[in-house]
Amino acid sequence: HLYRLAIVQTKIEKFSEAYKSLKSIPIEEFSNKINLLLNLIDLSVKLNKFDESDFYYDLLKKSNSDKVNLTNLKKTIEYNKYIYLANQ
């Protein structure tokens, strides 16, 4: 199962591989869409793929039923983006 593989890859810090594994999962068909999107956001931020993290954030915002604090999540994405750009 690709989701489980991605979790293991993340735990051993193979972030690019984990991200590729998660991206290959059809979001709309996955049973735990919110966790999939949260993991995609986390990994895209770790990989400095901020356009993609924003894309997954927007998908999460559309599908979220108040299970995730979106304000703090957006602040985290923006903070990491700011730090990344400041160090370029």
pLDDT of residue 65: 65
pLDDT tens readout for residues 19-44: 999 999 999 999 999 999 999 999 99
pLDDT at 68: 79
Residue 42: φ, ψ to 5°: -55, -50
The pLDDT of residue 67: 73
**In Å, what is the CA distance from 17 to each residue of 8, 12, 85?**
10, 10, 24
pLDDT score for 69? 83
The model's pTM is 0.92
- For residue range 46-81, what is the model confidence (pLDDT) as tens digits? 999 999 999 999 999 998 767 778 889 999 999 999
